[in-house]
């Protein structure tokens, strides 16, 4: 079977695959584990995105899928922002400890 024999995936099928590859971020996950998980998601999603054959036609049902994908992406962005703040707070605390350690 050649590439021409295979039908291009529909927008709905691609969106569902992207949703399936984008689980909710776990609660209270260590920043380093969160980053590793997100990097894996991004890599797997890139494989799906590489199969897009323009133009894609979105149906009303597909728009619901787009909304769900946006919601999950937003949850990841929020979790990553929280992890960034936690790492910043930790680094700030470490800097203060080092400064106090040098005090006479």
**CA dist list (Å): 79 to 22, 90, 91:** 13, 16, 18
Overall number of domains in the chain: 1
Is the confidence at residue 33, as pLDDT, over 80?
yes
Locus of tokens 């400890």:
97
Enclosing domain of residue 86: 31-102
Does residue 60 lie in a domain region?
Answer: yes
Does residue 95 lie in a domain region?
Answer: yes
Locus of tokens 């689980």:
23
Share of the chain above pLDDT 70, in %: 81
Does residue 7 lie in a domain region?
Answer: no
Does residue 5 lie in a domain region?
Answer: no
pLDDT band at 102; cut points 50, 70, 90? low
Contact by Cβ (8 Å): 48, 94: no
Does residue 47 lie in a domain region?
Answer: yes
Does residue 24 lie in a domain region?
Answer: no
Does residue 6 lie in a domain region?
Answer: no
Question: pLDDT at position 1, please?
Answer: 45
Q: Write down the pTM of the prediction.
A: 0.78
Cα separation of 67 and 26, whole Å? 20
């Amino acid at each position: 079977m050649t590439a021409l024999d295979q039908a291009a995936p529909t927008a709905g099928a691609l969106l569902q695959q992207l949703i399936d590859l984008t689980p909710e971020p776990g609660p209270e996950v260590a920043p380093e584990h969160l980053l590793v998980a997100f990097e894996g998601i991004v890599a797997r999603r890139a494989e799906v995105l590489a199969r897009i054959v323009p133009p894609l036609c979105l149906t009303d049902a597909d728009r619901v899928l787009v909304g769900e994908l946006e919601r999950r992406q937003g949850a990841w962005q929020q979790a990553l922002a929280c992890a960034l703040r936690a790492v910043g707070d930790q680094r700030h605390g470490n800097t203060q400890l080092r400064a106090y350690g040098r005090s006479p």
